[in-house]
Amino acid sequence: MRIALANIGNAFEQIWAHRLRSMLTVLGIVIAVTSTLTVVGVVQGFTRYVSEFLQGLGTNAMWVWPERPAGEAGRRLGRIAMDERDLAAIEQNCPALRRLSPLIRSETVLVQAGRDEFRAPLEGVSADYLAIRNYEVALGRPFSIVDVEERRAVCMLGREVVRKLELGDDPVGRNLLVAGRRFSVVGVLSEKGSFLGNSQDELVLIPYTTALKMYPAQLRRMAATAQAVSEEAVPEARAQIVNLLRRRHRLDAYQPNDFKVMTQDEILDAFNSMSLVATAVLAGIVGVSLLVGGIGVMNVMLVSVTERTREIGLRKAVGARRRDVMLQFLTEAVSLSLLGGSAGIALGYGLCALASLHPQMVDVVIPLWAVALGFGVSTLTGVVFGLVPAVKASLLNPIDALRHE
């Protein structure tokens, strides 16, 4: 214990005495730990952000849309279509589903109120849409069934649209022009925030029947958002939709689906596989820089052992055993690489803080395990690459060492 304390004191003295050399030596370790922390922080931040966003997309939600599959089999399929009857059939014949809303999307459309105008995405939906997507009505009312059935020119606005059009505190009842048509505002959605720099509150909702009147081409290419009865029922609901649509579209067993079904989990999976790639790239960087850093530590420790041969001889003369000398140099190597690791952790935090300054950046989350990993990995590097110099020092013959010039 006493020797250990003396060793640590010694180690820091040596490192401080050779500040520049020590700094250059640990650069590899610094880079390794910094990149670990930064990448893990950003990836974790994104993962949390994405899962929060997906929660916001709805509860147990899934999306269905017509799509020609890739490849030869896809090209052989006839017309790719999904119409209102398909959607009605899904709604009626899939017991694992609770709700369904057709989803008619357009390019962004020009919304005008008096002299103010603003481009926003337009979505044609049914009365159930708000419940599926967890949208809350901040002002006014949601669509009624009558609005949908009678194809009324009514709309609900996202907060950002209200703000940009300067509609004031109570826009309900105001008239505005959406893609050149007159609409009356019946409600305002509560704020959802932005995702990856895209505001989720720049949105105009209208009844899907009204949207189909504006975009009749979509009558044959309708999409839908649906909600399963429970989280456990999501895969079942998916299977029911697939089976039903394949039957209705008269697809043979060898033919691929002429539509796509995607659940929230699948979006999360897709994202997770992306972050897995990022992690793999990170592992490569970290591995290489640890190797470089470790060799740096080994090199500088070998130099140190040679420089201090006489000191080693003296220490042995005054009672140091081989083990004591070995531990002294091992302590020095580990201290060196731990300092590198600490610098890397500090720098990683700094970089994450810097990244967070970017307005479109997510909140970076540095998990404790990444910090622990940084310390652990740098300690291990010190031990592994410090071992050879330390053993070399411990085996020096005191007589020769004391005569060393």
Partner 1 sequence: MGEETVHALRGVDLAIGSNELVAVMGPSGSGKSTLMNILGCLDVPTSGTYRLDGREVAALSQAELAQVRGRRIGFVFQTFELLARQTALRNVELPMIYSGASASQRRRRAVEALERVGLGDRMGHRPNQMSGGQRQRVAIARAIVQRPALLLADEPTGNLDTQTGEEILDLFADLHREGQTIVVVTHEPDVAARCRRIVRIRDGLVESDEARTP
When the beta carbons of 88 and 395 are compared against partner 1, the nearer one is 395
Residues in the chain, total:
405
Interface region with partner 1, contact rule CB under 8 A, candidates 175-183, 184-192, 257-265, 308-316:
308-316
Name the β-bridge partners of 99: 227
- Other CB atoms within a 10 A radius of the CB of residue 370 amount to 20
In the complex, minimum distance from the CB of residue 324 to partner 1, in angstroms, rounded to a whole number: 6
CA-based nearest residue to 134, from 11, 245, 227: 227
Would you say 233 and 96 are in contact if contact means Cβ atoms under 8 Å apart? Answer: yes
Q: Applying CB under 8 A, which of residues 280, 318, 357, 368 lies at the interface with partner 1?
A: 318
Backbone angles phi, psi at 259, to 5 degrees: -155, 170
When the beta carbons of 76 and 323 are compared against partner 1, the nearer one is 323
275 contact partners, CB below 8 Å, separation of at least 6: 43, 46, 47
In the complex, minimum distance from the CB of residue 13 to partner 1, in angstroms, rounded to a whole number: 6
CA distances to 117, 151, 315 from 207, rounded to whole Å, are: 21, 7, 87
Would you say 50 and 360 are in contact if contact means Cβ atoms under 8 Å apart? Answer: no
Q: What is the rounded end-to-end Cα distance, in angstroms, of the chain?
A: 33
- Counting residues that bind partner 1 (by CB under 8 A) gives 22
Please list every residue from 338 through 397 that binds partner 1, using CB under 8 A: none
172 binds partner 1 (CB under 8 A): no
CA distance 142 to 135: 10
Q: Applying CB under 8 A, which of residues 62, 130, 302, 315 lies at the interface with partner 1?
A: 315
20 binds partner 1 (CB under 8 A): no
316 binds partner 1 (CB under 8 A): yes
Q: Applying CB under 8 A, which of residues 28, 142, 313, 344 lies at the interface with partner 1?
A: 313
307 binds partner 1 (CB under 8 A): no
In the complex, minimum distance from the CB of residue 397 to partner 1, in angstroms, rounded to a whole number: 8
Binding interface with partner 1 (CB under 8 A)? 2-3, 6, 13, 17, 310-311, 313-324, 398-399, 402
